[in-house]
Amino acid sequence: MAEAERTIETPDTPDAPGAGESGSPTPADSTVPDGAGDTAAAGDTAARGDGATAVTGKGGRRLVALFTVAVVAYLLDLISKTLVVAKLEHHDPVEIIGDWLRLEAVRNPGAAFSMGEAFTVVFTVIAAAVIVVIIRLARKLRSLPWAIALGLLLGGALGNLTDRLFRAPGVFKGAVVDFISPAHFAVFNLADSAIVCGGILIVILSFRGLDPDGTVHKD
């Protein structure tokens, strides 16, 4: 009888390797290899780093463009004024296109195009403030057209500010050298031209919705 009871009893089955408390085996592919998470995180970090490098590189090129335009505009203005003072001042005007366009040396204590001659110090301070604003704005510059526009403004402002600081009658009161004299129009210089061209370009870019950081918006 005891022999028969042992025969009909269900033998104990050992747990299968890898089985949990419910007896279900753990899938083999659920185990993450050592170091795989670190590799993925490193890849994400590298991708973000590459993107940041690309943005920084683009901004760096725009800064180079801005300061290149500014230096060229400034040097052209400085050289032209030096030649005018040396060769044209206290001499008769030089006719380029009859009476329509002449070169005539004029000392202007006012703003661009001989306006506001009684506010020389005010215009000097404004020019210095414009230069500071442009330099601060340059840090987030990502647009080449904006770089050109701001470069023209910066070069022109520096050109006239140099006259305000170093020409007679004294610091902050110096008269700007103007020499381009069209018929029926105020006498101006290359710095004035750069400022006006830069301002016009900024207006066009603003109407087109292009921001200095390269983004385009639509009102």
Active site residues: 178, 192
DSSP state of 113: G
For 175-201, give the DSSP string. PEEEEEEETTS--B-HHHHHHHHHHHH
Torsion of CA 92, 98, 100, 106, to 10 degrees: -10
210 φ/ψ angles, rounded to the nearest 5 degrees = -95, 120
Question: Alpha-carbon distance 105 to 161, whole Å?
Answer: 18
* Length in residues, the chain: 219
